[in-house]
Amino acid sequence: MPLTQFAIVKALATDKPLMLSDGFGLHLLVQPNGSKLWRFRYRFGGRQKMLAFGAFPTVSLAVAREKRDEARKLVANGTDPSVKRKLDKVAAATARQNTFGAVAAEYLAHMEANGASESTMSKNRWMLEDLASPLANRPIAEIVAAEILIILKRIEKSGRRETARRLRGVIGSVFRHAIVTLRATTDPTLALRGALLRVHVTHRAAITDEKQLGTLMSAIDDYDGWPTIRAALQLLALTMTRPGDIRGMRRSEINFERAVWRIPADRMKMRRPHDVPLSTQAVAILKEVWPLSDYGELVLPSIRSPKKILSEGAMVSALRRMGYARDEMTPHGFRSAASTILNERGVNPDVIEAALAHQDRDDIRRAYNRATYWPERIKLMQAWADMLDEFKALSVTNRRAA
C-alpha cells in the first residue's frame, strides 16, 4: 500500500531499522536514531542494487516518487541509475575544474606557442586576468551573456569604450577555445554584438606639412633636455619605426659596419625580425649617445636608471615642452608623417610599406618584398634623412626671412 504524508510523519523509530514500502522499489528507512531515509531497490544485470534519494522531510514524498520513476525509466532503457549518478558527479566535478580562468590560461599558452608578440601577450593577459577576473572561478559552461555584459558595461562607463570592445573579443576567443576542446557548447559573447556603445576613433596627431615638420626637427635638435630623449625623437623620425622599437633598442641590435639595426622578432608587432637601414645621420646620432649606455644593454636608457627602458611619456613631455600639443604631434606621428610625405612625393608604396614593417597578408608577396626592396629601402632611408635636413634648412630660412 502506498505511503501517505501522515503515515510518514507518524512513523516512530524502534530499536531496529524499520522499512516502510511505497511500492515499485521505493521505501522509507526509519533508523533507530529517528532519521528517515529514502531508498530505492532495483535489479540490474541480474543483481539486486540500491540507490539513496536523501532524507525526509528534505526530500518530500512527491520528490522521492519522481526520483524513483526517473530511475525506473533508466533501468527500462538499459541504463544503471547508480552508474549514471557516478558519471554525473564526475561530469560536475570536471565542469567545476573547467573554469573560465583555467581555459583562459590555456588560450594564452596557445597564443604564446603560436608566436604572439610580447606586447600582444601582455595586453591579453591584462584583459583576461585583470579585467575579466570576476569570471575566473566560474565554470565556463555556466557563464551567461549577462555576466559578461556587466563587466563590459562597467569598463565602458569609465570611458574606455575601445577596451570594452576588445575585451568582448578576447573573452569570445576563450569561449571558442573552450568549444573546440569540448568544455563549452556556445559563445555567449555572440549575443552581445551591438550591446556596447560605438568607439570614438581618434587618429594619432601628426605633422605632415614639410615646412612644419622641418620646424619640429629643428626644435628637437635644439632641445636642451636629457640627451637620450632628444636622440630618441631624432631616431624616431629618421628610422620610421614605432616608439616602442626605439625605446627598446639594444646595443647588440646595432651593426655600425653594415649600418643596420636589426629588431628581433620578439620585439616586433608581427613577430618577424625587421632590419632597418641606418642613414649617415642616424649612425651619427647613435655614435653620439653610445657612451651613455656603456653600463647597460639599452641604447637609450631611462633618465633614472641605465637598466630601465625610456618611457614614451618622456618623449611626449619633450614634445609638449617644445610647444606641440597632443592634437598637433605625438611620438607615433613621425611614422604617419614619413608615410604621407613619401607617398605624396611618388615613392613606391611597396617600398614605403616595407620600411614601415607593415605586414603583407600574402606570404609569397611578403617574402618577395623583403628580398626585393632591401636596396630600395637603403636608398629610401638615406633620401628621407636628407629630406628632413632640407626641411630643417627651409624652416630656418623662413624664420630668418620673417
Q: Is residue 274 flagged as an active site residue?
A: no
Q: Is residue 25 part of a domain?
A: yes
Q: Which of 39, 153, 250, 332 is catalytic?
A: 332
Q: Is residue 86 part of a domain?
A: no
Collect contacts of 354-363 with beta carbons under 8 A, ≥24 apart.
Answer: 355/240, 355/380, 355/381, 356/240, 357/241, 357/268, 357/269, 357/270, 357/274, 359/270, 359/272
Q: Which of 68, 247, 335, 392 is catalytic?
A: 335
Q: Is residue 310 part of a domain?
A: yes
Q: Is residue 202 part of a domain?
A: no
pLDDT of residue 88: 80
SS3 200: coil
Residues 13 and 149 in one domain: no
Question: Can you tell me the distance from the alpha carbon of 43 to that of 39, in angstroms, rounded to the nearest whole number?
Answer: 14
pLDDT of residue 361: 46
Q: Is residue 16 part of a domain?
A: yes
Residues 259 and 388 in one domain: yes
Report CA torsion sign: 357, 359, 363, 366: negative
Residues 188 and 222 in one domain: no
Q: Is residue 332 flagged as an active site residue?
A: yes
Residues 184 and 333 in one domain: no
Residues 214 and 142 in one domain: no
Q: Is residue 367 part of a domain?
A: yes
Q: pLDDT for 365-392, tens place per residue? A: 454 445 558 999 999 999 999 999 999 9
Last residue of a domain, one of 127, 159, 192: 192
pLDDT of residue 397: 65
pLDDT of residue 90: 75
Helix %, strand %, coil % of the chain (to 5): 55, 10, 30
Residue among 387, 339, 346, 319 nearest 242 (CA): 339
The model carries a pTM of: 0.54
Residues 233 and 374 in one domain: yes
pLDDT of residue 364: 45
Q: Is residue 10 flagged as an active site residue?
A: no
Q: Which residues of the chain have pLDDT under 50?
A: 361, 364-365, 367-369
185: CATH? 1.10.150.130
Domains of the chain: total = 3
At residue 239's C-alpha, the angle toward residues 259 and 335, to 5°, is 165
Residues 215 and 269 in one domain: yes
Residues 239 and 352 in one domain: yes
51: CATH? 3.30.160.390
Residues 29 and 127 in one domain: no
Last residue of a domain, one of 192, 223, 243: 192
Q: Which of 242, 274, 377, 392 is catalytic?
A: 242
* Contact in structure between 173 and 116 (CB atoms under 8 Å): no
pLDDT of residue 358: 74
Q: Is residue 65 flagged as an active site residue?
A: no
Q: Which of 123, 176, 358, 366 is catalytic?
A: 358
Q: Which of 269, 272, 366, 370 is catalytic?
A: 269
Q: Which of 86, 308, 320, 368 is catalytic?
A: 368
Residues 42 and 110 in one domain: no
pLDDT of residue 318: 93
Last residue of a domain, one of 148, 165, 192: 192
Q: Is residue 335 flagged as an active site residue?
A: yes
Q: Is residue 112 part of a domain?
A: yes
Strands 47-56 and 26-30, how do they pair? unpaired
Q: Is residue 85 part of a domain?
A: no
SS3 84: helix
Q: Which domain holds residue 255?
A: 210-401
Residues 389 and 261 in one domain: yes
Q: Is residue 269 flagged as an active site residue?
A: yes
Residues 127 and 62 in one domain: no
324: CATH? 1.10.443.10
